[in-house]
Amino acid sequence: MYYIVVLPFLATKTYITTLIRAIASNENMPCEVIQEKDQILIVFDTSSALIDEFLLTLEKNLPASIYLSKSSYYMSETKPKSVLQNFRSNIPFNIAPCPYCQKEMFDVSSRYYYYPFTSCNNCGTQTPFMDGYPFVRAKSFMRFIVPCAACQNEQKTNIMRKDYPLASCVECGIALRIKDNKSERIANDKGTYRKLFEVSAKAISEEKQVLAKTANGYRLFANPYSSLKLENPIVMITNFNTINTHFMLIQEEFNALLSIERPLIRLATKSDEAKKLFGSSIWVKYPDDGISMLLAKEAMNLGLDYIIYADSNAHKEAELVIDFDIPVLPQIDSKLFINQDTKKIISGERLTFPAIDFTGDDRIIVAYNLASVVLDGVRIIDFIEKFDVAQTSKFYQLEGDKFESGHSNVKYFTQWQTSMLSVLAENDKLSSKALGIYFDEKALHFLYYNGKEVINAVPAREFDSDLLFERISNLRDGSDRLVGNYRLRFPGRIEQIENSTTKVDAFGIAAILIGLEDKSLNGIATEALKFLGKGGIQIDTHIKDNRFDYDALLASIMSYQLGGVESSLLCYSIYESFGDYIGEIVNQLIEKTKTNVIALSGETIANQILFGRIKRNLSSRELLTNKKYPMGKENALHGALYL
């Protein structure tokens, strides 16, 4: 008889599986750990008397993960067999240090004390150090660093680092440089590593900016109280005990923030201090790599509950610079969307890629500097530059992508097409008829899948900012007076739109008309979160041929601005109106197609107001989203497998 624990796990990565196996080995607990498509199974023989004790050990030592959900168990007379018997993960990942590595980083007797590149088979920033496949040291930027005798011994004896390709420690690893306008110093042992982070944190506390090269790219760190403001700052929590003091978050958001994946999460501000500094909401993260983590630890020691940073580059000027000589290939950070029981990746590369898949033929797929290629029988999705030349008779490329393949037979695909296929494939609905909504900052598409192909049922209306106010003047009786009055009241906004030398999308113009500092859809979303009322106002959509008329939307915004409507209410109402419009059109399409399956994709869908409105308006329908891949553009690499 077997006792089987089931851990739902919606990722192709194996770091939780390998960590469970390592803990079992250290605890001398006989069990088998099987990773399936959407779950991890831990199989025990019921004759063992140590099961309960081992499960308690797991509970204490397994990190939180955004991909894990509530466990269950069952008894079986037969041992389960993996559906994916060849499941393996010969790919690196990019997550925070596991509890074991973190413990070593702060243990003064350890060879990893304050060593920012501490990692093991089950954790750490591995992907940025790899420039090819397979996942071996010779294909990494660490290939010229020879592991010391202690590291080589660990590769043979320590289950956590057995055969680990990136083994290094304070004795043999990557040295750091810290420099200011006067001098440059090297950190290459316990004392100098610790001193480097103490000095850097002190500089931040004194309102100086620190430019640090991390495994996730250059970050410009600063004191949130500094008069030198960062552009698009992100809050990095240093003291998790005070998160609830400064930000409003539910338990799911707290768990995700501290998970080993360390996603970006937009949180509402709570304390007067945070509201004054960041407004009503801000993107927040917990330290995700060794350099950020050690810097945050020293900042906390100086009394800072959080610091801020902005993504930067090597040429940015700062009072203090932390650097190292090993190159890295940083990934775009991942944003997480949480709405009640819904938890989805909005966009980004870091948590999803590299990804593995066992679906499809030998086709090569290219989009957004990512490639989907079969290596040794396993499909891997990663940066294009990590793959050598590969041969295929089927080459698929995103429409508009500038990659030059040189292939004689390139097949182009659209974003909306592959995004819908990605959602349907992840939810095993490719054999069903379905409707789809793809919504990004450029367009809103209504789609229909007939079981074979995706059809653009209600194509997005093209928006052109040229002659915008002339079109609005002719929209209906009295529109010319609307434009004239708005021009008198807000001449600067009109001039900014009319004098723009580049094409501006409809949401960018809406943000300008409302007077927002962030002139984009993100600016509208941020402003909408400031609204604390229970309902919005009706935005005129003036539907033509079932398609959203952006000119009518902008005219409505101008009218409300002249009427003195608060910008937060106006932005909130824009999302509500889109949610109502989507519900209306989808219900019409349902009547024609007789399907209740709705696939939602596109980064704009991941908005609390819009998503909630869609759920309310389509409450009786089956709403599907991506599970493992982002809701945004990056899911195209997965969806193109099903063309």
Tens digit of each residue's pLDDT (9 = 90 or more) over 270-296: 999 999 999 889 999 999 999 999 999
List all residues 6 or more positions away from 303 whose beta carbon is below 8 Å from its beta carbon.
205
Cβ–Cβ under 8 Å, residues 585 and 458: yes
Q: Which region among 124-133, 389-398, 590-599 has the lowest average model confidence (pLDDT)?
A: 389-398
| pLDDT for residue 259 is more than 60 | yes
- φ, ψ at 415 (rounded to 5°): -65, -50
According to the model, what pLDDT value does residue 89 have?
58
Cβ–Cβ under 8 Å, residues 596 and 566: no
* Residue 281: DSSP 8-state: E
For residue 458, what are the CA distances in angstroms to 98, 430, 436, 548, 624? 47, 21, 10, 10, 19
Residue 418 tokens read as: 């592959």
Report the number of secondary-structure helices (H) and strands (E) in the chain: 19, 27
| pLDDT for residue 531 is more than 50 | yes
**Mean pLDDT score, 425-450:** 94
Tens digit of each residue's pLDDT (9 = 90 or more) over 214-250: 999 999 999 999 888 898 899 999 999 999 999 999 9
Q: 213: closest CA among 225, 200, 226, 224?
A: 200
**Mean pLDDT score, 489-516:** 90
What CATH number should be reported for the domain whose range is 176-323? Answer: 3.90.870.10
**Using CA atoms, how far apart are residues 610 and 162, in angstroms rounded to an integer?**
48
What CATH number should be reported for the domain whose range is 90-174? Answer: 3.90.870.30
Query: Would you call 338 helix, strand, or coil by DSSP?
Result: strand
**Using CA atoms, how far apart are residues 248 and 244, in angstroms rounded to an integer?**
6
| pLDDT for residue 394 is more than 50 | yes
Share of the chain above pLDDT 70, in %: 98
- φ, ψ at 262 (rounded to 5°): 55, 60
**Using CA atoms, how far apart are residues 627 and 434, in angstroms rounded to an integer?**
17
Quickly list H helices, 180-219.
Answer: 190-205
| pLDDT for residue 543 is more than 70 | no
Tens digit of each residue's pLDDT (9 = 90 or more) over 485-500: 999 999 999 999 988 8
Residue 533: how many other CB atoms lie within 10 Å: 10
Residue 218 tokens read as: 């250059």
Long-range contacts of 611-615 (CB under 8 A, 24+ apart): 611/337, 611/339, 611/342, 612/339, 612/579, 613/575, 613/576, 613/578, 613/579, 613/580, 613/582, 613/583, 614/437, 614/579, 614/582, 614/583
In 145-295, at which residue ranges do the beta strands (DSSP E only) sit?
176-179, 184-187, 210-214, 217-222, 234-237, 247-248, 264-269, 281-285
Residue 30 tokens read as: 């006989």
| pLDDT for residue 597 is more than 60 | yes
**Mean pLDDT estimate for the chain:** 92
Identity of the amino acid at 20:
I
pLDDT confidence band for 86 (50 / 70 / 90) = very low
**Rounded to a whole number, what is the distance in angstroms from the first to the last CA of the chain?**
44
Q: 434: closest CA among 453, 418, 416, 415?
A: 453
Tens digit of each residue's pLDDT (9 = 90 or more) over 453-469: 999 998 877 788 888 89
Identity of the amino acid at 226:
S
In 295-369, at which residue ranges do the beta strands (DSSP E only) sit?
306-311, 320-323, 335-339, 342-347, 355-357, 364-367
What CATH number should be reported for the domain whose range is 2-76? Answer: 3.30.70.1510
Q: How many residues does the structure list for the chain?
A: 643
| pLDDT for residue 313 is more than 80 | yes
CATH superfamily of 424-643: ATPase, nucleotide binding domain (3.30.420.40)
Tens digit of each residue's pLDDT (9 = 90 or more) over 26-76: 999 999 999 888 899 999 988 878 899 999 999 999 999 999 989 999 999
**Mean pLDDT score, 413-435:** 96
Cβ–Cβ under 8 Å, residues 119 and 289: no
CA torsion angle 60 65 69 72 (round to 10): -40
| pLDDT for residue 623 is more than 50 | yes
